[in-house]
Amino acid sequence: METLGIWVAGLSTLALFSFLYKDNPFYRMAEHIFAGLSAGYYFGLIYQAVILQQLVDPIGQHWQMLDAGTGDTTYHTMKIIFLLFAGLLGVMMFSRFFPKLSWISRFPLAFIMGNTAGIYLMSQLHGLVLPQMAATFVNLASPLGIVIFFGVVATLIYFYFSKEHKGVLGVGAKVGIWFIMVSFGAHFGYTVMARISLLIGQLQFILIDWLKIV
Amino acid sequence: MSFWEKIGQIDRRWIYLLVALAVIFPIVVPVQLPVGITPEARQLYDAVEALPDSCAVMLTFDYYPSTVAETMPMSVAALHHLFRKDIRIVTMTTVPLGGPSIAENVMADMAAQYGKEYGIDYVNLGYKANYTAVLLGMGASIESIYPADNLGRPLSELPLMQEVKNYDDIEFIFVVADNGIIDTWISIVNAQFGTPVGAGVTAVMAPKLYSFVESGQMTGLLGGMRGAAEYEILADQQAMAVMGMCAQSLVHLLIIFLIILGNIAFFTMKAKGRES
């Protein structure tokens, strides 16, 4: 079975690589199989991990407790109500498929947006923005820290659009562009390395695991 | 048509072929090139090395199968290091596609190598949807988020999970990721619960994360296949990433050569255009 899997993976890899020469039926077949398999796998996983494990099973467990008369009745009742409410919000999202009822989906969306904003506002501020600002100032004792400080200030000047970039502001914005370009260069270099790594990994699979040439 | 004109109009498929050959050649004829150790990789290794024996560490498999060339060697090297130190491991993933099965397979292989027992030495919690709620919730109680492990065994039946109730019982979190989840590990878990976080990430993500190492919010960083190779060397377990680094270097040299060639062709043709 494992050998069959390796052969399917090897042939699929070659089919997908064939697009580098030109578009062809083998590439399209592999692409469609991948899309279908991913959708099926994802559906099965989400059904198991969300619908069953986080909704159906807990409701069943609390219902059993209520039925057996064990534990705090109010607690189990409230848990069931909360879970049913969450399930209802999920069902309401499907109203988007019906244009006349699509307004109903705004309620769960509003709930998600409010929830997400509440969580991320604090975590982003306290977990990312403030520590990064503090580190920018704290490291001023070292030469690299000074470069980082001026880089941050110059880049922020570049993104300040309420005043024309002339004079001191213009010089700062130009310096900011240089820092941004260096950052783009670093990102591009790393991206090239990442893509080549994926090619190396796949060719290692073909030559070592599949064809056993090495 | 002059040489530079030909270079300027070369069919891109020749470049693909050259890149393929540059990758295949070092795999077939292995040549070991030296891989320097960056301070960030050293910091991560030292942090794991300094952990007390038998403590609990969380190792995440937050990556899709498409990036295993970069990420899986990091997980494997980290597991060699952790198991060798008799550290107990709790694994999880926030990635639905592939993450749970990669974690299951890699953990089973590595545990067999080191004779580790499931439930006592390691536990695989698997996947749960909505990672923000998962990461926040585990701060209060892991069992409330994961009532059962990846294969449906209740956590109450696993001895390791009787000792590891939340982040307070975890000494270090080793995140291996190929997506933006690392921001959440830093902004929620490290910032709110104070658990040290170190990471191995794909090369695309690495540049953004260096500032978190500088600020002390992250304890070490591995970037891409190079980072994986560094950890393999530090953990004395040289494998696929170290093997791939020769190909990586050769392709980088080829790309630099092609960029220079392309630019010479461009400026030569531009100069000729001006003359005519």
pLDDT at res. B6: 87
Cα–Cα distance for residue pair A3/A211, rounded to 1 Å: 11
Tokens of B39: 């301070």
At residue B252, what is the residue type?
Answer: H
Same domain? For B54 and B95 the reply is: yes
Which stretches of chain A drop beneath a pLDDT of 50?
Answer: none
Q: Which helix (H) or strand (E) holds B56?
A: strand B56-62
Instruction: List strands edge to edge, sheet with B56-62.
Output: B122-127, B88-93, B56-62, B172-177, B197-201, B221-223
Could you list the residue range(s) of the whole structural domain that residue B122 is in?
A: 39-238
In angstroms, what separates the C-alpha of A167 from chain B's closest C-alpha? 30
pLDDT at res. B32: 82
The verdict on a CB contact (< 8 Å) between B215 and A196 is: no
Show Cβ contacts of residue B257 under 8 Å, excluding neighbours closer than 6 positions: none
Residue range A49-107, pLDDT digits in tens: 889 988 999 999 999 999 998 888 999 999 999 999 999 999 999 999 999 999 999 99
Same domain? For B199 and B234 the reply is: yes
**Full-model pTM:** 0.91
**CB-side exposure of B274: number of CA atoms within 13 Å?**
6
pLDDT at res. B272: 85
The verdict on a CB contact (< 8 Å) between A119 and B202 is: no
- The residue among A2, A3, A17, A4 whose CA lies nearest residue A202 is A17
Same domain? For B171 and B253 the reply is: no
Enter the ipTM.
Answer: 0.90
pLDDT at res. A18: 96
The verdict on a CB contact (< 8 Å) between B24 and A116 is: no
Across-strand partners of B200? B176, B222
Comparing CB atoms, the residue among B202, B223, B251 nearest residue A196 is B251
pLDDT at res. B248: 95
pLDDT at res. A83: 95
Same domain? For B154 and B49 the reply is: yes
Closest residue of chain A to B193, computed from CA coordinates:
A127
Cα–Cα distance for residue pair A53/A49, rounded to 1 Å: 5
Same domain? For B97 and B196 the reply is: yes
The 10 Å CB-count burial string (b at 16+, else e) for A139-157 is: beeeeebeebeebbebbeb
- Compute how many other C-beta atoms are within 10 angstroms of the C-beta atom of residue A162: 4
| Pairing status of strand B197-201 against strand B122-127 | unpaired
Cα–Cα distance for residue pair A103/A105, rounded to 1 Å: 5
User: In B, which residues are within 8 Å of A214 by CB distance?
Assistant: 27-28, 30
Cα–Cα distance for residue pair A105/B205, rounded to 1 Å: 34
Cα–Cα distance for residue pair B141/B156, rounded to 1 Å: 12
Cα–Cα distance for residue pair B49/B84, rounded to 1 Å: 10
Across-strand partners of B122? B89, B118
User: In A, which residues are within 8 Å of B153 by CB distance?
Assistant: none
The verdict on a CB contact (< 8 Å) between A131 and B127 is: no
For B259, counting Cβ atoms within 10 Å of its Cβ (0-12 exposed, 13-18 middle, 19+ buried), the class is: exposed
The verdict on a CB contact (< 8 Å) between B70 and A119 is: no
Tokens of B174: 């080793």
User: In B, which residues are within 8 Å of A45 by CB distance?
Assistant: 96-97, 100, 127
Comparing CB atoms, the residue among B69, B129, B212 nearest residue A202 is B69
Same domain? For B20 and B43 the reply is: no
A–B interface: beta-carbon pairs under 8 A: 142
What does the angle CA B159 – CA B161 – CA B163 come to, to the nearest 5 degrees?
Answer: 85
Same domain? For B83 and B152 the reply is: yes
Cα–Cα distance for residue pair B225/B223, rounded to 1 Å: 7
Phi, psi of B34 (to 5 degrees): -65, 140
The secondary structure of residue A33, as a DSSP letter, is H
Q: How far is CA A113 from CA A87, A110, A120, B153, B272, in A?
A: 17, 5, 10, 34, 59
Same domain? For B21 and B112 the reply is: no
Same domain? For B268 and B200 the reply is: no
Cα–Cα distance for residue pair B138/A53, rounded to 1 Å: 16
Cα–Cα distance for residue pair B97/B62, rounded to 1 Å: 10
Closest residue of chain B to A204, computed from CA coordinates:
B27
Domain count, chain B: 2
Alpha helices in chain B (DSSP H): 3-8, 12-28, 39-49, 68-84, 99-114, 131-140, 142-145, 159-163, 181-184, 206-214, 224-234, 240-275
Show Cβ contacts of residue B147 under 8 Å, excluding neighbours closer than 6 positions: A53, B154, B155
SS3 (DSSP) at B50: coil
pLDDT at res. A93: 95
What CATH number corresponds to the domain at position B120? 3.40.50
pLDDT at res. A45: 86
Same domain? For B229 and B261 the reply is: no
Please give chain B's pLDDT, 276 residues, in tens. Answer: 788 888 888 999 999 999 999 999 999 998 888 899 999 999 999 999 999 988 999 999 999 999 999 999 999 999 999 999 999 999 999 998 888 999 999 999 999 999 999 999 999 999 998 899 999 999 999 999 998 999 889 999 999 999 999 999 999 999 999 999 999 999 999 999 999 999 999 999 999 999 999 999 999 999 999 999 999 999 999 999 999 999 999 999 999 999 999 999 999 988 988 777
- CA dihedral sign of residues A177, A179, A185, A188: negative
Maximum CA extent, chain B: 83
